[in-house]
Amino acid sequence: SDTEKGTYNHFMLKEIDEQPFVIRNIVQKYQNDDGDIKLDDDIRSAINDADRLYIIAAGTSYHAGLVGKELMEKAANKPTEVHIASEFLYNEPLLSKNPLFIFISQSGETADCRGVLVNVKKQGFKSLTITNVPGSTLTRESDFTLHTYAGPEIAVASTKAYTAQMAVFSILAMDGARAQGIDTDFNAIRELGLIANAMETLCDQKDIMEQIAHDYMFKTPNCFFIGRARDYHVVQEGALKLKEISYIQAEGFAGGELKHGTIALIEDGTPVVAVTTQEHVNLNIRGNIQEVVARGAKACVISTEATKQEGDQIVLPNINELLTPLLSVVPLQLIAYFAALHRGCDVDKPRNLAKSVTVE
Ligand code: G6P
């Protein structure tokens, strides 16, 4: 059953492996018999009528929001901002005339998000919650809810909820594009099918990820993750995964920002994980990889068939560039898992962390 580990030693590994099924499930749930997107008319109108979307979230859900913003802006031409809930709560930015608030929360219980929801309701604004737990506090208190259909997520480190959240955004983006008559070849439904298959292949390559975790992360006190543009969002999530379960100090940086400070930290043997899935910044990030390698870093490169170079550790199949985070995060999740496992950490219940944080 969903709440038992079965043959797995850890929920986290089970939940990583469930991602292809979750993605296929989402495609099914958000598709009608004609193959069109199935979405409540009220939600469609709320998104279309808003002059700006404000995504509010915490932790991993915030990282999904960064990708969600790009999908809404690039595929559906909808101005979107993403905010950390606890920051927005005490430092509300200047708002547009007709905003729609979108809360992303696996649990639907995060107090920081709820605080923002209470405030924006008082201001008379509409809200949509994207969550894995229908019936949760945020769904009860917001105007609309979309379900991520990931099934119960038990491990404290979020994995399948993150990819599910991004998948739902891809559907919203496709729907938004269609509703506005934007001429685009972006077809989330088709892409998600390809992604599910590719995820399965990656999940079958655990020996490769385990070897990388062993070679790069067995002893190190720290680890850097670099990426540009969309890959910058995913490396922030990769770093969060690694630090929360392995206690290795890990940070995700924008490749171009390294030279403004962080590169001072690179020493002989410092692991640097680089993600490069977009052709328009491939050469830039390749330059950044050379810069850190020249200072002694041990680079682990995750690329795609379109961006690969000889010596890359992991090469992902080509998929629509807007959606590469759904794929590139899988090796990052697995590397974090094996790093924590080999360092003897309590993978499913890391110290000091809670699955859902219901106090501010
Ligand atoms: C906690 C969890 C994180 C999660 C964050 C937001 O800190 O440990 O894994 O990303 O809350 O949770 P939510 O349920 O709102 O997505």
Measured between alpha carbons, how far is residue 236 from residues 54, 186, 232, 290, 325 in Å? 20, 25, 6, 21, 11
Position 246 scores a pLDDT of 97
Reported as type and span, the H/E element at residue 225 is: strand 222-227
As a whole number, mean pLDDT of residues 142-162 equals 97
At a CB cut-off of 8 Å and minimum separation 6, what does 170 contact?
71, 75, 188, 191, 192, 322, 323, 326
- The phi-psi region of residue 181 (left if phi > 0; otherwise alpha if psi is between -120 and 50; otherwise beta) is left
pLDDT > 70 in the chain, percent = 100
Alpha-helical runs (H) found in the chain: 11-17, 19-29, 41-49, 59-74, 85-90, 111-122, 137-141, 160-179, 188-203, 206-217, 230-246, 279-294, 324-342
> Is there an atom of ligand 1 within 6 Å of 129 CB?
no
Residue 305 Cα to ligand 1 middle (Å): 33
The residue whose CA is least distant from atom 4 of ligand 1 is 59
Which ligand 1 atom sits closest to the C-alpha of 60?
10
Question: Of 59-68, 107-116, 322-331, 344-353, where does mean pLDDT reach its minimum?
Answer: 344-353
**145: pLDDT strictly greater than 80:** yes
Q: Give the span between the Cα atoms of 74 and 267, in whole angstroms.
A: 38
pLDDT in tens, 275-328: 999 999 999 999 999 999 999 999 999 999 999 999 999 999 999 999 999 999
pLDDT in tens, 237-287: 999 999 999 999 999 999 999 999 889 999 999 999 999 999 999 999 999
Distance CA 47, CA 174 (A): 12
357 Cα: distance to centroid of ligand 1 (angstroms) = 7
Q: Is 107 in the pocket of ligand 1 (CB under 6 A)?
A: yes
With a 6 A CB cut-off, is 156 part of the ligand 1 pocket? yes
Does the Cβ of 106 fall within 6 Å of ligand 1?
Answer: yes
| 317 Cα: distance to centroid of ligand 1 (angstroms) | 30
pLDDT level of residue 4 (50, 70, 90 thresholds) = confident
The best mutation among 11, 87, 103, 106 to test binding of ligand 1, ranked by most ligand atoms within 8 Å of the C-beta, falls on: 106
* 1 pLDDT more than 70: no
Tell me the pLDDT tens digit for each residue of 159-205: 999 999 999 999 999 999 999 999 888 999 999 999 999 999 999 99
**Residues whose CB falls within 8 Å of the CB of residue 314, separated by 6 or more in sequence, listed in order:** 208, 212, 300, 301, 302, 303, 331
Residue 151 has a CB neighbour count (10 Å cut-off) of: 18
Residue 51 has pLDDT above 90, yes or no: yes
Query: Which strand (E) or helix (H) includes residue 104?
Result: strand 99-105
- Per DSSP, the residues of 60-95 read HHHHHHHHHHHHHHHTT---EEEEEHHHHHHSPPPP
What is the pLDDT at residue 35? 83
Q: Angle 70-59-127 (CA atoms, 0-180°, nearest 5)? A: 60
Per residue in 78-96, pLDDT (tens digit) is: 999 999 999 999 999 999 9
Is the pTM of the predicted complex or chain greater than 0.80? yes
Mean pLDDT of the chain: 96
Ligand 1 site-directed mutation target among 103, 130, 154, 356, most atoms within 8 Å of CB: 356
Residue 2 has pLDDT above 80, yes or no: no
Would you say the CB of residue 150 lies under 6 angstroms from ligand 1?
no
Give the whole-angstrom CA distance, residue 175 versus residue 46: 12
Cα gap 163→325, rounded to integer Å: 8
63-68 average pLDDT score: 98
Closest CA to 202 of 348, 17, 64: 17
Count Cα atoms within 13 angstroms, Cβ side, for 43. Answer: 21
Q: What is the pLDDT of residue 3?
A: 79
- 65 alpha carbon – ligand 1 mean position (Å): 13
Cα–Cα distance between 96 and 52 in angstroms, integer? Answer: 6
Q: Percentage of residues in the chain with pLDDT exceeding 90?
A: 93
CA of 137 to the centre of ligand 1 (A): 14
Greatest pairwise CA separation for the chain in angstroms: 57
**Helices assigned H by DSSP within 182-278:** 188-203, 206-217, 230-246
Residue 184's pLDDT is 85
